[in-house]
Structure 1
Amino acid sequence: MSAPPIQYAIRSLKQLGLINGPPAWEPVASFQKPENAVKVYRYSDDGRFFASVTNTTVQVLDAATAAVVREFEAKGILDIAFSPTGAQLQTWERQVKPADGEPPHRNLRVWDVASGQELASFSQKSFEGWALQYTADETKAVRCVTNEVHVYDTANWSAGIADKVRLEGVTSVSVSPGANPNLALFVAEKKGAPASVKIHGLATLAVPSGSKTFYKADKIQMKWNKTGTNLLFLTQTEVDKTGKSYYGETNLYLMNSSGQFDCRVTLDKEGGIHDFAWSPNDREFAVTYGYMPAKTVIFDQRVKIIADLGLNPRNFLSYNPQGRLLCVAGFGNLAGQIDIYDRQTLKKVVTFEAPNTVHCEWSPDGRFLMCATLSPRLRVDNGIKVYHFTGSLMHVQEIVELYQASWRPANPAWYPMSGPLEPAPASTVALAPTTTQSAKPAAPSGAYRPPGARGTLTPNVYKREDEGGAAYSGSNGAVLFPHSQSANGAGTGGFGQRGAKKGVPGAPPGAGQGEDPLANRRKKKGGKKGGQQQQQDGGDSSLAPGSGAATPAPAPEPAPVPALAPPIPVVEPTLSPEDKKRRAIVKKLTAIEQLKVKKAQGEKLELTQHKKLDSEAELRKELAALGA
């Protein structure tokens, strides 16, 4: 079978789209978007089907041809999930409280895609972890309920629970991939009892094959390797009791499904664990951890270090589907730098930036990296950018209020990467389709004009005086600003003509025109210096040499003022120690007299004030001894 073309899907506020990948980067011609707004979409794991949800229907399409396969009439659906082969579809809607005496609302339903029939339904209140988990061959489905894990036969849903395991306090379950599926059950720490993860083989559900107990675990994130033989799980507490981290304390553990090996992954840098990921080759995993700049290390399946990629501000890890390339990036509150490493040589291929990235995902062929900016995480600059692993920007699509974007899944074996890394193909960024509205025209410059007056001449009544308009007048026709008009009637707009002499109010015309307005100021400064500076500066043109005007006589020098004698400092007499003591006692007695007045007026005195009153006799005795 030939490899299908690469495809990705987008969902925004007003549209849903299927777009073909390189080299065309154009929408799928046969796809018709639904008339109503789409709440969510999902691809099946094998990439055969594409399903979308509106307010009233769930539509399943053939992802390659966009032909309608099945349509379900269902209202209020908020999320959907395919089974591994795409034969069954799960839907979840918000649970409604039943009336008295009625059974609970079954808001989780399982549908057969081929026939459109409802196969099973359950009551699932919580949205977190709502979907049933299927085995890889789709023969069994697993669901976690209070203190139990139920197993169903997908070929016979009507038979009910096929098998179950009871575990007090179990909060989550994870089904492994591979031919021999296992279940990992997590019990959180409670009332001093440690948390635990137990692995049960699906064929021998009653007896666990492995168990690991530990403390400091309120939440867990579990990741199986591709064949389901090893499990990595990240534990996290709600609060870090040491106060070192706002996000709680994190730890990483590794368990073998057979129970022969388990350990805690020892990390040599203080701080939280940002991300971890299995390689598709099943033999190694990568972890980025520690306070920024974080450290990224590759471990083997026995937790031995393979490579240390150094310290950088990074918090995201992703192997490409072939396991040949490793993406180490820093998103969120980081700058968006992306490092691409060749796993065969452990050398860095390139470093580039994709700022404001909310969703990052490798294409199925392992050559392209989608970096999407999504709402509501970021409400500006929404859209996707597709980069080649060499760092070249291949495709840009700007989309208003983009909510969802993802590649169509495909088998990585169809796109091998065993040989040397190929260079980037030709970029088509300039030809990239844009789903936003056409660019807004530039706003016209100049003053605003109403639509009815556009394209016509401005009447004189609306012109300013400096543009030839009439002078402003009041309601009775009187000119309000007579000083703004010149002799020929041309308005000056309230501003004097440049170079014109200002008149003196109340003086006859021409008065003061030959006077120097700075003469009095220069006289006050005094001296010959002012007159010399006036001659050097030129002063008025009437005083220039050769003009025939008389040269003014220099001003007489003022009579010298006799210098005043410096003031004689007054020397205060020096007090003797007896005088100082006598003055202090008098001051205390004055304060005591004031307290007596307050006491006579009925005011309540404090304890220290009463002590001052009691010391009056002793103070007067000391004052008498000093001879006062």
Structure 2
Amino acid sequence: MSSQFFLKTNKDIELFQGYPEFNECNHTSKESQVISSVVSPCGRFLALSTKESLQVFSGINFENLLLEKDCNDIYDIKFSPSGNFLNTWERPSASDPEHKNVKIWFLNQEIKDAKILEPIYQYKYKSQSNWSLQYSKLDNFAMKLFPKDLRIVKLSLTNPIFDFSKPFATLNLDQDPTDQNRKFTTYLVSPSEHPTICTFMPEKSGKPAQLTIWPILEGKINKKIATKSFFKADSCQLKWNSQGNAILCLAITDFDSQNKSYYGENTLYLLSFQGVNGTLGGNSVRVPLANGPVHDFTWSPTSRQFGVIAGYMPATVAFFDMRGNIVHSLDNQSKNTMLFSPSGNYILIGGFGNLQGAVEILDRHNKFKSIAKFNATNTSVCMWSPGGEFIMTATTSPRLRVDNAVKVWHVSGNLVFVKEFKELLKVDWRSPIKVKTYNNSHVAKEMAPLEQDGENLNLDPKLNKSQLKVHASVAEFAAAHPQQAANHAHSTGGKGATNKPAGAYKPPHARRAGAAGGGVPGMTRTVPGMARAVPGAAPANNNANGKTSRRRKNKTSTDGPTNPPSASSGSNSSGSNSEASPEEKKMRSLLKKLRSIETLKQRKANGDKLEDTQVLKISTEDKILADLKALGWNESDA
């Protein structure tokens, strides 16, 4: 039995049991729109908000209503790392300027009446970005950024008090008298049991940006564990490793001084330390990367390595050690996403967004060997299951408003479950509950993790390809969408060369080579040219002199192929012209649309960013193929 996952639509929350049943175990439907929903990192709670209320559920299948409050316009919800505190952000009130729109709810207690619980702390914060408090891994510290300092309070799990007027520790922003006009714009607490804090101060007035790691010590914090100064940094992204002894900082400028990128310049820095709170010293380096943007960077769960995808497409995929040295690199490829499995055994690299959705699985313990490939086109969400044996991909709104669906794949590249939606807004896995609770209630005794094996924690079963059970929904999806099912073809072993199915995509230059007797072995054409004879029409490949009209046949433009030559433009063997029937005209029109879609798909495969209307046009390919087949056309005629 593998982990549960939940799906959110406009008014419904659906909870599914994972492999192999994939059966729905809870369905919550609301009369009004579900604005926000989130499962706690600890797996104990599901919180959701509508226009009028806030609700929190607990239980094996989230069947217990724990909290229900009348709250208007809650647009964002966040849990603390251990799930004890729920943070909500409401739209600021226009009529009440003193309205405290951020509320903190304490959930790790017995709640007899779902309607009586009140927030234990609240404050005013207008912006919806960076509004939430930050918490340490065990929820024993909470941090809030004030105009002049960063304040830290220490919390108990029985009677927490958020008294920032009497903080446990304070990190002042005016450490240097010459920098009094500069402020920390970003900070991030580490995920270790002995937490530290990393702060970022951007470049300003000719002074370099500063990245610093601080310990959490009672009183005023002055000690610096590690620090790095650098230029070209207007903002940053921070990512700690799971052990909390190293952090990656992606420094970003608003503009590219060389005018090569619309998104500015990227530089990656690594800060690390040894010993608790840096007692054995710290280190800082700049990570050597290929020229161009950084598409993704992520830590291995082992905390000893990290991977980066960087450079202009096709991008460089490389893996580094804790000193910033390259330990392995792959051939350049069109990828922009990297995800380590929770165990660190596997690495997923994919090309999503404006790329074609190709996914490859690497075996970290076998010299990064490729073990599977599959296509997940139009993917907007991709994540490993908590057990690390399955991958969820989804097409969600508003990123894409057509073909909304969730798909679950096995690590071998096999599609094992599909569910389609008219509109799918959010998907997520539910982590197994790993803390001790009182009498199977939601109240945790302590934050120390359970000492149980994977089976008791409901993690994924370890399966090979021959043992895999495919859900009936996959066959139903393939029957309803044969073109998409063909695109999901995968391969395993060897160098991972994808086994192309009949009707797979073939680029224009390969199509021309194939027409001349060459071509690529194992590849056939999906989109036909006009070499095919339209029923009842004269051949269009001969001109009046009997010579091939190469200019007309191969003529293209930047907007796609030109109109096909009409039947009357050529001469048949008897020199007579034939007039096209309405069916033939409709077929030519559909073929023209199909070739236009082919051009758009090629642009997308090359990394071009398409407009929403062009993406929608690609999604009509199945209907056009169906209309063509209804007129008597088939792919073998291409």
**TM value normalised by structure 1:** 0.65
Where does residue 216 of structure 2 map in the other structure?
202
Where does residue 402 of structure 2 map in the other structure?
380
Deviation at 1:224, TM superposition (A): 0.4
Q: Measure, in 2, the Cα distance between the counterparts of 1:147 and 1:424.
A: 61
Where does residue 235 of structure 2 map in the other structure?
219
Where does residue 161 of structure 2 map in the other structure?
156
**Contact persistence 1:9–1:17 (CA under 8 A):** yes
Residue 349 of structure 1 aligns to which amino acid in structure 2? I
Where does residue 230 of structure 1 map in the other structure?
246
Aligned: 1:430 with 2:472: yes
**Other structure's SS at 1:28 match:** strand
**Other structure's SS at 2:51 match:** coil
Encode CA deviations 1:126-168: one digit per residue, 9 max, x unaligned.
Answer: 1112111111111111122334212123322246441322213
Q: Measure, in 1, the Cα distance between the counterparts of 2:361 and 2:454.
A: 19
Q: Measure, in 2, the Cα distance between the counterparts of 1:188 and 1:201.
A: 21
Deviation at 1:33, TM superposition (A): 2.9
Q: Measure, in 2, the Cα distance between the counterparts of 1:398 and 1:7.
A: 18
**Other structure's SS at 2:472 match:** helix
Q: Measure, in 2, the Cα distance between the counterparts of 1:418 and 1:426.
A: 12
Aligned: 1:326 with 2:347: yes
Q: 1:420 to 1:310 in 2, by over 3 A?
A: farther
Q: Measure, in 2, the Cα distance between the counterparts of 1:42 and 1:421.
A: 30
**Contact persistence 2:214–2:225 (CA under 8 A):** yes
Residue 46 (structure 1) aligned to one of 42, 55, 75:
42
**Other structure's SS at 2:371 match:** strand
Where does residue 171 of structure 1 map in the other structure?
185
Residue 195 of structure 1 aligns to which amino acid in structure 2? A
Residue 428 of structure 2 aligns to which amino acid in structure 1? S
Residue 19 (structure 1) aligned to one of 12, 16, 19:
16
Residue 288 (structure 2) aligned to one of 253, 266, 283:
266
Deviation at 1:35, TM superposition (A): 3.4
Where does residue 65 of structure 1 map in the other structure?
61
Where does residue 112 of structure 1 map in the other structure?
106
Residue 316 of structure 1 aligns to which amino acid in structure 2? T
Q: Measure, in 2, the Cα distance between the counterparts of 1:419 and 1:7.
A: 13
Deviation at 1:97, TM superposition (A): 4.5
Where does residue 85 of structure 2 map in the other structure?
88
Q: Measure, in 1, the Cα distance between the counterparts of 2:248 and 2:411.
A: 27
Residue 39 of structure 1 aligns to which amino acid in structure 2? I
**Contact persistence 1:397–1:433 (CA under 8 A):** no
Deviation at 1:351, TM superposition (A): 1.4
Encode CA deviations 1:428-473: one digit per residue, 9 max, x unaligned.
Answer: 44336999xx99xxxxxxxxxxxxxxxxxxxxxxxxxxxxxxxxxx
Where does residue 440 of structure 2 map in the other structure?
none
Q: Which has the higher contact order (CA 8 A, sep 6+)?
A: 2
Where does residue 126 of structure 1 map in the other structure?
127
Deviation at 1:195, TM superposition (A): 0.8
**Contact persistence 1:144–1:150 (CA under 8 A):** yes
Aligned residue runs from structure 1 range 412-423, under 5 A: 414-415=453-454, 422-423=464-465
Residue 212 of structure 2 aligns to which amino acid in structure 1? K
Q: 1:403 to 1:418 in 2, by over 3 A?
A: closer
Task: Show structure 2 runs of 5+ residues with no match.
Answer: 112-116, 174-181, 435-451, 482-638
Q: Measure, in 2, the Cα distance between the counterparts of 1:122 and 1:241.
A: 41
Where does residue 395 of structure 1 map in the other structure?
417
CA RMSD of aligned residues (A): 2.5
Q: Measure, in 2, the Cα distance between the counterparts of 1:248 and 1:309.
A: 25
Where does residue 535 of structure 2 map in the other structure?
none
**Other structure's SS at 1:227 match:** coil
Deviation at 1:342, TM superposition (A): 0.5
Residue 264 of structure 2 aligns to which amino acid in structure 1? G
Aligned length: 429
Q: What percent identity do the matched residue pairs reach?
A: 34
**Other structure's SS at 1:39 match:** strand
Encode CA deviations 1:171-214: one digit per residue, 9 max, x unaligned.
Answer: 11100011210111111111221111111101263332221111
**Contact persistence 1:147–1:170 (CA under 8 A):** no
Q: 1:394 to 1:303 in 2, by over 3 A?
A: same
Deviation at 1:227, TM superposition (A): 1.0
Aligned: 1:37 with 2:33: yes
Q: Measure, in 2, the Cα distance between the counterparts of 1:118 and 1:132.
A: 14
Residue 120 of structure 1 aligns to which amino acid in structure 2? Y
Deviation at 1:27, TM superposition (A): 0.7
Encode CA deviations 1:374-425: one digit per residue, 9 max, x unaligned.
Answer: 1111010011111111110011110112111111123798549999973264
Task: Show structure 1 runs of 5+ residues with no match.
Answer: 440-628
Q: 1:274 to 1:256 in 2, by over 3 A?
A: same
Where does residue 192 of structure 1 map in the other structure?
206
Q: Measure, in 2, the Cα distance between the counterparts of 1:424 and 1:371.
A: 23
Q: Measure, in 2, the Cα distance between the counterparts of 1:383 and 1:414.
A: 33
Q: 1:418 to 1:72 in 2, by over 3 A?
A: closer
Where does residue 176 of structure 2 map in the other structure?
none
Q: Measure, in 2, the Cα distance between the counterparts of 1:424 and 1:378.
A: 35
Q: Measure, in 2, the Cα distance between the counterparts of 1:231 and 1:72.
A: 39
Aligned: 1:355 with 2:356: no
Q: Measure, in 2, the Cα distance between the counterparts of 1:432 and 1:349.
A: 22
**Other structure's SS at 2:24 match:** coil
Greater Cα offset, 121-130 or 424-433: 424-433
**Contact persistence 1:186–1:197 (CA under 8 A):** yes
Q: Measure, in 2, the Cα distance between the counterparts of 1:152 and 1:125.
A: 23
Q: Measure, in 1, the Cα distance between the counterparts of 2:60 and 2:204.
A: 50
**Contact persistence 2:415–2:474 (CA under 8 A):** no
**Contact persistence 1:336–1:356 (CA under 8 A):** yes
Q: Measure, in 1, the Cα distance between the counterparts of 2:149 and 2:340.
A: 35
Residue 200 of structure 2 aligns to which amino acid in structure 1? F
**Other structure's SS at 1:378 match:** coil
Q: Measure, in 2, the Cα distance between the counterparts of 1:424 and 1:95.
A: 56
Residue 243 (structure 1) aligned to one of 222, 235, 259:
259
